[in-house]
Chains A and B, each alone.
Chain A
């Protein structure tokens, strides 16, 4: 259901342009506006100056990796509830758990597939109780 997420702004963080572009295209197909960053440091810069609704981040990156990025984001009071999705080729459970523990809200494995991205965004942007 493309178009459902219109108005959302996402940040895609991956040092590897190839996979980052793939994610960007998927997000744009879903009507989401996308900002990009090549590592955690750049991502924090973007977050300081832009309102972002959801972050997709790779784990393995130079400068600052995905775990560190989650950790740093959660230290900023305004971003404590910013949804973060870890995107990685790691299918190792330890990585996933480590991601969740450092503050990530969900996890998507590579290669990235559009239906999973949709599902994750839908899930992450819904609250349990309907807004009062």
Chain B
């Protein structure tokens, strides 16, 4: 869902950031006009053939450094604006874990660490899918059922934790469970059976991951509802590598597994911190994240072997050495000086050394990616370097693939054959992944109809209310999780109730009647809880959590303009199960004209008293159209009007029935009043017809 392009995405921006942006824009304008002045000044000097004064040069230099500072600030600011913390992700994953635990019937405690970690908004959205896959795997395949855990002497409750953190240029997501661990031996047997490794070959956790990532491989015999069979690791890794990241894992049999996703921090912005090098006649920019080091080596210190070609020694390892130009078919490098310039790059644990001609300082570059039609192996795009020179952006993963492919497999990897298969599998269309995405697409197939309002107005109004709802979500999430750990807390219950109530109102405002009805049922459940008519229970909590998930789905799809007003049958059914049956609103319609007013003993007594006091009694028969208000409400209001000028002795239908909603626009009122009969009748008829939609008022003396 998050991968679709061209949809109207938006995000909330801190006002302070916008202010800062405005300030920076101001500085850009000032710098640009200063630049104009300097240029004009230089032009004058040139025209007069006067030598350039020292101050002018200094001035230009100042301008250059000012503009460098401004562009760097701008870049950082834009990145900061695009950045969000992981509160939202934490809420979503906590609900997800709850839901999976419910479906698998396992007892799981979920711990989320690092909510304050800030990550680019688009990255957070892309991370959710692989994270949710991995959490499913951890609970479904990792955590054992209660009985197995008891036998193994573990606490009954399994623990799954998600830890998020940032290093200087990477975001780390660690997902750990204390379950049974990955059966590495089983995977090894599978690899042997598939002919990928031989019996005597070593088999590491990295190799096990490669096997896990092969489509259709699963260590679980049964297909479960939650994570299925063989869906998962390959998809997870494909998604993470798609963001330029890597997946690693550790596992201890019987103790659990730890999967780590490492995703580069800045892959969403087309500005690259790069190290520029010259190799022969070409300039290349290497993403700084993938550069390990630069070294100059004496030509005599290179190792050469017949089998493996040139190697250099780095930190006690022998690294394969390639000529950058040769790897990307740009012709051989001039081999003259005694010193060889070497660049060491790394991706996913593959480390290679590259011979180049010259290093330049690291700089920020704007990437111009190659468009889809043009694929150049080892390169991902171009950039304009200082002096209007063209530079190529190096795609380090494919460069390493290419280098290794050119001269056979070697390097730091122990079982690179597996790696190659895994890597090629990642680009193959995986049927399971397609199946998984299908429901989301059918769900969004039709656009909601917007009635008679102009489509664009309706859409704008909808967006406005959707954004309002979105703003409420963190508080609602917070209230629910607080409620989950402190179920009796009326403050949380009231807060959640109000939030749901407001959101329902918003749904109704934008014409999502079914959405409103869905949230109404959640609200009704909460209302009973806060009124003390229902206990907080797991079922109630489920409904509340599902309510949030439903709202978030509405928000997500609405923002993409793809929401068709659909109720959540799951929520409606679950709440119907625990809510008392609604009283049937339709009772056999009483024939108001035929029925007589039943007087209570007390009313009978009052009627006799009025008779003695010569205060007349009247019978009024009213037919009215309540319009936009419920008929029973209008009937109550009419009743109240009669009490203002007399004493109501009884009605048809009786008041208690009216209050229950049994009212169809016909009402009889028996009342006594001392007001002069003519004035009384005239006033009542006037007010009832004018203000209460009365269409017929019959008035008669009652003896």
A interface vs B, CB < 8 Å? 15-16, 18-19, 60-62, 89, 91, 93, 96-97, 100, 105-111, 113, 115-116, 119, 122-123, 126-130
Residues 451 to 501 of chain B near chain A (Cβ within 8 Å): 465, 468, 494-495, 497-498, 501
Q: Does B68 contact A (CB under 8 A)?
A: no
Q: A16-B505, A62-B498, A89-B504 are in contact. Are A100 and B692 (CB under 8 A)?
A: no
Give chain A nearest CB distance to B225 CB in angstroms. 37
**Are the C-beta atoms of A123 and B502 separated by less than 8 Å?**
no
**A18 and B498 within 8 A (CB):** no
B636, A116: Cβ atoms closer than 8 Å: no
The reply to whether B645 and A106 contact each other, CB–CB distance below 8 Å, is: no
A5 → chain B closest CB, angstroms: 14
B508 at interface, CB cutoff 8 A: yes
**In angstroms, how far is the closest chain B Cβ from the Cβ of A117?**
10
Q: Which of A18, A60, A61 has the most B CB atoms < 10 Å from its CB?
A: A60
Closest-by-CB residue of A relative to B524 is A92
Q: Which residues of B contact A113 (CB under 8 A)?
A: 628
Q: Is the interface of B mostly helix, strand, loop or mixed?
A: helix
In the complex formed, the residue of A with least CB distance to B679 is: A129
Instruction: For A93, list chain B residues within 8 Å (CB).
Output: 630, 632, 659-661
With contacts A89-B508, A97-B636 taken as known, whether A116 is within 8 angstroms of B628 at the C-beta atoms is yes
Decide if B390 is an interface residue (CB 8 Å cutoff): no
Evaluate contact between A110 and B508: CB separation under 8 angstroms: yes
Q: Tell me if B255 counts as interface (CB < 8 A to partner A).
A: no
Q: What are 9 A-B contacts defined by CB distance under 8 Å?
A: A16-B505, A18-B506, A62-B498, A110-B509, A111-B508, A116-B628, A116-B629, A123-B691, A127-B644
Report the Cα distance A60→B501, complex, angstroms: 7
What residue in chain B is nearest A111 (Cβ atoms)? B509
Q: Is the CB of B691 within 8 A of A119?
A: yes
Residues of chain B at the chain A interface (Cβ within 8 Å) = 465, 468, 494-495, 497-498, 501-502, 504-506, 508-509, 516, 627-630, 632-633, 636-637, 640-641, 644-645, 659-661, 675, 679, 683-684, 687, 690-692
B110: shortest Cβ distance to chain A, in Å?
Answer: 30
Tell me how far the C-beta of B332 lies from the nearest C-beta in chain A, rounded to whole angstroms. 69
Write out the residue numbers on chain B whose beta carbons fall within 8 Å of the beta carbon of A109. 628-629
Residues of chain A lying within 8 A (CB to CB) of residue B687: 126, 128
The chain B residue sitting closest to A61, CB to CB, is B498
Nearest CB of chain A from residue B517's CB, rounded to whole Å: 10
A122 adjacent to B691 (CB under 8 Å): yes
Distance in Å from the Cβ of B633 to the closest Cβ of chain A? 5
- Bound together, the chains give a CA A127 to CA B636 distance in angstroms of 16
Cβ–Cβ < 8 Å partners of B627 in chain A = 116, 119
A123/B692 in contact, CB under 8 A: yes
Q: Which residue of A lies closest to B691 (CB)?
A: A123
Beyond A19-B509, A89-B516, A109-B629, list 7 extra A-B contacts (CB 8 Å).
A16-B502, A89-B504, A96-B633, A111-B509, A127-B644, A129-B679, A129-B683
Measured between C-beta atoms, what is the minimum distance from A70 to chain B in Å? 14
Complex Cα spacing A74 to B679, Å: 30
> Can you name the residue of chain B whose Cβ is closest to the Cβ of A115?
B628
Indicate if the CB atoms of A15 and B498 lie closer than 8 Å: yes
A122: nearest residue on chain B (CB-CB)? B691
Q: Tell me the smallest distance from the CB of B32 to a CB of chain A, in Å.
A: 41
CB-based contact A60/B498 at 8 Å? yes
Q: Which residue of A lies closest to B684 (CB)?
A: A128
Contact A107 B683 (CB under 8 A): no
Query: Residues of B contacting A89 with CB < 8 Å?
Result: 501, 504-505, 508, 516
Chain B residue with Cβ nearest A127: B644
- Given A93-B659, A111-B508: A130 and B633 interface contact (C-beta under 8 Å): no
A130 engages B683 (CB within 8 Å) = yes
Residues of B within 8 A of A108 (CB): 629
Once bound together, how far apart are the Cα atoms of A126 and B627, in whole Å? 19
* Chain A residues positioned under 8 Å from B661 (CB to CB): 93
Residue pair A91, B644 in contact (C-beta under 8 Å): no
User: Does the CB pair A91–B691 fall under 8 Å?
Assistant: no
Q: How far is the CA of A109 from the CA of B645 in the complex (A)?
A: 28
> How distant is the Cα of A107 from the Cα of B641 in the complex, in angstroms?
15
Question: Are B504 and A129 interface neighbours, CB within 8 A?
Answer: no
Flag if B636 contacts A100 (CB, 8 Å). yes
Min CB distance B111 to A, Å, is 31
Residue in A19, A126, A130 whose beta carbon sits within 8 Å of that of B691 in the complex: A126
User: Hey, which chain B residues are within 8 Å of A16, CB to CB?
Assistant: 502, 505
Q: Which residues of A contact B683 (CB under 8 A)?
A: 128-130
Q: Residues of A contacting B495 with CB < 8 Å? A: 62
Cα A82 to Cα B697 in complex, Å, equals: 28
Q: Which residues of B contact A97 (CB under 8 A)?
A: 636, 659
Query: Once the chains are docked, how many angstroms separate the CA of A117 from the CA of B578?
Result: 36
Residues of B within 8 A of A96 (CB): 630, 632-633
A110 and B505 within 8 A (CB) = yes
Nearest 9 Cβ contacts at the A-B interface: A123-B691, A60-B501, A93-B661, A89-B505, A97-B659, A128-B645, A116-B628, A16-B502, A128-B644
Q: How far is the CB of A85 from chain B (nearest CB, A)?
A: 11
B534 to chain A, nearest CB (A): 15
CA distance A71 to B592 in the complex (A): 34
| Interface residue from B505, B516, B632, B641 paired with A128 (Cβ < 8 Å) | B641
Indicate if the CB atoms of B675 and A129 lie closer than 8 Å. Answer: yes
Residue of B nearest to A19 (CB): B505
Chain B residues lying within 8 Å of A106, measured Cβ to Cβ, are 637
Nearest chain A CB to B579's CB is how many angstroms away? 12
Closest to B658 in A: A97
Q: What residue of chain A has the Cβ atom nearest to residue B498's Cβ?
A: A60
Chain B nearest CB, measured from A39 CB (Å): 10
Closest Cβ neighbor of A93 among chain B residues: B661
